[in-house]
Structure 1
């Protein structure tokens, strides 16, 4: 599903109105009618008493249209205008006048005193429509409207937000001081980036996109660079039927470089996840002294003991690791390898010499702190999978700073270092070097436990080994990984979810995605 920022949405509206010639009042009519129909479907068919809280801008204008349609269907509606009537202009003014000419009731609430007098009447409503502030908001909510939003949130009534909850930044998902917590948000034209990122997603409720008549040609020409992941946004061909004459070599050979004392589980999970993703062969390169552990722990995965120092990869490991790249189709580097100086030397040399797609995770990334030039020296396609702490260390900023601007942080890194970035966390962001970014809706808090990232690394590596283009491999892996977590949570709950549960659930996640798309026969 395509996503727009506030600025992109304004430009789409401008082109539709000024260049195509569809009047703004027509778009507003379509928006209000569509939202009203959603309200009737969700909260009808029995009419409910509705309070429409309108601001002076176009969001309020949408509210006037909604009020008109609901009233026409027999719903008792009262509009509360939180502005001076004379300050309502443009298309919103047109629809305010229509509302009044048809006998609609309007309560003027331009001040704190008027709001105090109106509170009891608003509280009598069975449903509140928030049409106070729209996507143009870019500063903190203060004064009268701040109090109104706080009052709405305390009412305990179902709330429908018109286009976007008032107080939510449409481009970032940040809360601008205070925001309406909605149960349903009919959003117009396209979903907004801020509606699908945290914390904004927690205020939107059910999100429904209303077609307001922006021509598809205008949308296609807008160069939108963000999307919400779903089956329609994924290259699902790796999940399709396989040729009857295929063999294990058909589906690639992944080399996993992972593990150190106390971290053999990371190596095992990444390797097994790659097999679950469909890789034909997986070889785990492991420090020599740890090989007996992995020989017992793994069955389908092959292991290769590598020269080491004190149980970790070192400069002594480099010749054997480079030799192991021969015949492989992808490399997964980093889970549980540690960050000793010798290990860093091995990581740097691998990245400088590797010619096959590589996914770098965990300590593989930590080894690059202060040495990001190595990424630019890498000639192979690269996918990195940092969590916010790891991304912060790479950039020399705090995890909090990463979280405050996840989308742009991921985009900037991907562009500068010519790689695919998978910025993990709630609503994982997948960003490519051309500026495109994808936000993942799957996953749950139960996945916030050790090892789940190792599983994701393995799944990405498994798809890379099969020849899936890096961006598509990352998108598909992230979506399936989160979906597997959701399937486990449905059965076991979030609290008891552990990383190895994801390995068992991946086939079911793949089956669910297969059922949602048309995969032709090979």
Structure 2
């Protein structure tokens, strides 16, 4: 087993993300610039994967290595050869193709054969005593449903009791989008090479990737000089957006936020959004809501200023506010429509969520002064397509939202995406399955609104707010698990992350 200092892979992940197409084109350029052969890079990839397998499963004695007819398979041949040289029993099954193997993969295959290894056809019966599977079937170039015999091998691997380590990406998962068009390997661990790809972080990735590891293959120095296409953001990034407050600051320095929503029967949504804004550090928060919710909101959170929503109250509040959040519990009736119509006369920074987005979909308009925070269903309505279309390429969807509606778009989901019109894209690597419960979006709206009130730019507030939201949920899940996690459980945790000195 390799020592920690010698590990050729990292458990901590970089914060830069590139498309798989860009990485494929950049790899030979980087190798040439550094005087490294592509075959040496393949040897490094196989060595890193072998080290991960030995470190993670030291007791495993019989490995099944699945190799495809490409460079991903070449990585598998290297792993197999290193394992056999270390006394591990290796069964290798390969898929043959109509074209010759790429040169590097052909070299790795021949080295495996020269070392005494055997290659079994895809139709072979699997041994019963396998205790580890190495997935080298399909790499980042896949763009469609895996065909035979790949699909059968993927399904067999998923039925097996042995854990799977995926090389670069689980076979069947699309590297550009995280979509799953057909059969896909369910990996216990994935070791990705050279750079992070978006499909490892968003879409359906979390269902299939398992624990994600990274190896630059020695190209990190070259890569650091290239402008990243996307950013992976976590709680470690909060310090760049949230600076310590001046000791002599007062509430007026931290913004006046107006929150509009909570039609009859939906007072909980507006209460969660408003309190989340306070917890995020907004100086003053005023709520305009249905008359029946005024008393309960004041009782639940006396720090809020709460009034019945009317035309006069809204006009006065818009003049008072620095920032507006509209949508939580708004409804799509005349009550909500009228409020949204009056808000559209204001040019102040705003966040639109929930039914504000559904109403916007009926009468689309482009603005640069707002953040839109749709879930996939709302995004589908905004873009006049299906939820399946959104989830099949979330990166394309968030970019379309920005192009059509302006400002900043935040597409919720596992691996939330944030984009602006300058081409910036961030993938939030926070959050957990416990967030699949009512009210989570309302809390997110309040957090971002609270940060906007503190004068963060739209894109920065969306990124920071999303990270605070997901990290707070992760902290709760760490203490009590994901099942039964409530949106209001996040409220006491928010200050821990909007004060980054506490979150280190």
Task: State TM-score, norm by structure 2.
Answer: 0.89
Structure 2 CA distance for aligned equivalents of residues 466 and 266 of structure 1: 22
Which segments of structure 1 move beyond 6 Å, counting only runs of 4 or more?
none
Contact 2:206 2:414 in 1 (8 A): no
Match of 1:163 among 158, 161, 168: 168
Match of 1:107 among 114, 119, 126: 119
Structure 2 CA distance for aligned equivalents of residues 100 and 445 of structure 1: 45
Structure 1 CA distance for aligned equivalents of residues 230 and 370 of structure 2: 21
Matched, 1:230 2:242: no
Match of 2:55 among 41, 46, 52: 41
Query: Aligned ranges for residues 490-501 of structure 1 at < 5 Å?
Result: 490-501=478-489
Match of 1:362 among 354, 359, 367: 354
Deviation at 1:462, TM superposition (A): 0.4
Deviates more, 1:47-56 or 1:24-33: 47-56
Number of the residue aligned with 1:194: 199
CA RMSD of aligned residues (A): 2.5
Structure with larger Rg = 1
Match of 1:505 among 482, 493, 497: 493
Structure 2 CA distance for aligned equivalents of residues 300 and 41 of structure 1: 53
Matched, 1:452 2:452: no
Structure 1 CA distance for aligned equivalents of residues 57 and 240 of structure 2: 37
Contact 2:273 2:442 in 1 (8 A): yes
Query: Aligned ranges for residues 330-479 of structure 1 at < 5 Å?
Result: 330-341=323-334, 343-354=336-347, 356-373=348-365, 376=366, 378=367, 381-479=369-467
Contact 1:329 1:466 in 2 (8 A): no
Deviation at 1:218, TM superposition (A): 4.2
Structure 1 CA distance for aligned equivalents of residues 53 and 324 of structure 2: 51
SS in 1 for 2:219: coil
Q: How many residues end up aligned between the 2 structures? A: 490
Structure 2 CA distance for aligned equivalents of residues 277 and 145 of structure 1: 49
Contact 1:16 1:215 in 2 (8 A): no
Match of 1:87 among 69, 85, 100: 100
Cα gap change, 1:38 to 1:516, in 2 (>3 Å): farther
Contact 1:487 1:509 in 2 (8 A): no
1:336-381 Cα shifts (integer Å, max 9, x gaps): 2222345324313322323x311111122222122112xx2x4x62
Number of the residue aligned with 1:24: 38
1:44-68 Cα shifts (integer Å, max 9, x gaps): 2x56222222223111111122223
1:94-132 Cα shifts (integer Å, max 9, x gaps): 22222333x2312241x63xx24xx23xx4332111112
SS in 1 for 2:118: strand
Contact 1:12 1:218 in 2 (8 A): no
Match of 1:271 among 271, 274, 280: 274
Deviation at 1:91, TM superposition (A): 0.8
SS in 1 for 2:345: helix
Deviation at 1:396, TM superposition (A): 2.2
Structure 2 CA distance for aligned equivalents of residues 145 and 104 of structure 1: 25
Deviation at 1:466, TM superposition (A): 0.4
Number of the residue aligned with 2:146: 141
Deviation at 1:510, TM superposition (A): 4.6
SS in 1 for 2:149: helix
Deviation at 1:460, TM superposition (A): 0.5
Contact 1:275 1:462 in 2 (8 A): yes
Structure 2 CA distance for aligned equivalents of residues 108 and 185 of structure 1: 24
SS in 2 for 1:365: helix
Structure 2 CA distance for aligned equivalents of residues 191 and 474 of structure 1: 22
Number of the residue aligned with 1:185: 190
Number of the residue aligned with 1:2: 16
Deviation at 1:143, TM superposition (A): 2.0
Contact 2:496 2:502 in 1 (8 A): no
| Structure 1 unmatched runs, 5+ | 308-316, 518-522
| Structure 2 unmatched runs, 5+ | 1-14
